[in-house]
Structure formats: C-alpha cells, structure tokens
C-alpha cells in the first residue's frame, strides 16, 4: 500500500525567504503525486501535481515541486514566501493503477513578517 511521510510538523520561515516543505513517499509502480493546501475551517485546495514528464512541476501561487525518483521525494518549494502562504500543507500519493489516494499528516507552514 502507498504511504506518505512529511517529516516536519512545522516549518517557520521569514517573509521573502525561500521555503521548502518536505515529502517522501512509498508506492508500488509509478506514482501520482499531489500537494494540497488547507486554510482554517476550509477544504483542501489543489496546488500542483506530478503525473509524468518534467521532474520540476509548477503550480498555483508560485509554488513548485521537484520529483526525485531515486530519493522517492516530492518536496514543495517557493522562492519567496508570503505571510499569506501560512497554512497547512498536505502531500498525497496514489499509484497509477490505484484510486486510493493517501495523504501525509501535514506540515504547518508559518511565514513571519
């Protein structure tokens, strides 16, 4: 069965600095990888996905993520953080032939002015 690990419960960065939120995964076969963001009392909003192709994928709000097959990682990055990026971020994975999408426990990102 597939699984996701987000090793950091919390990430703190200063506004304007680059940010990275880490994600590693385990899946049989080719992975479909996703990042979602959740604001308080809201559902999950899709940020970006990796299905195939370029290892660097770009998504909403200036976020990007790099797929690294050898390290089974899919870290979320942004060159310059904004205070409004403060939220809960979830990485998710499913196998290409499986509809069970598994989520990590989430990483709370706090961007300080």
Partner 1 sequence: DTGVSQNPRHKITKRGQNVTFRCDPISEHNRLYWYRQTLGQGPEFLTYFQNEAQLEKSRLLSDRFSAERPKGSFSTLEIQRTEQGDSAMYLCASTLEGTEAFFGQGTRLTVV
From its phi and psi, is residue 70 left (phi > 0), alpha (psi between -120 and 50) or beta?
alpha
**60 part of the interface to partner 1, by CB under 8 A:** no
Q: Which is nearer to partner 1, 43 or 113 (CB)?
A: 43
Evaluate whether 60 touches 47 at the Cβ level (below 8 Å): yes
Q: Is 31 in the site for partner 1 (CB under 8 A)?
A: no
CA distances from 1 to 15, 26, 53, 95, 97 (A): 38, 8, 24, 9, 12
Least Å distance, CB 66 to partner 1, is 18
Of the pair 31, 106, the CB lying nearest partner 1 is at 106
Residues near partner 1, by CB under 8 A: 4, 32, 34, 36, 42-46, 49, 51, 90, 92, 99-106
């Amino acid at each position: 069965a597939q699984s996701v690990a987000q090793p950091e419960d919390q990430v703190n960065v200063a506004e304007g600095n680059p940010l990275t939120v880490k994600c590693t995964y385990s899946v049989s076969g080719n992975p479909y990888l996703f990042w979602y963001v959740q604001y308080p009392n809201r559902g999950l909003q899709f940020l970006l996905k990796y299905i195939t192709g370029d290892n660097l994928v770009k998504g909403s709000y200036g976020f990007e993520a790099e797929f690294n097959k050898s390290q089974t990682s899919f870290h979320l990055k942004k060159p310059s953080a904004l205070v409004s990026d403060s939220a809960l971020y979830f990485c998710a994975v499913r196998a290409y032939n499986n509809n069970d999408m598994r989520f990590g426990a989430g990483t709370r990102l706090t961007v300080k002015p």
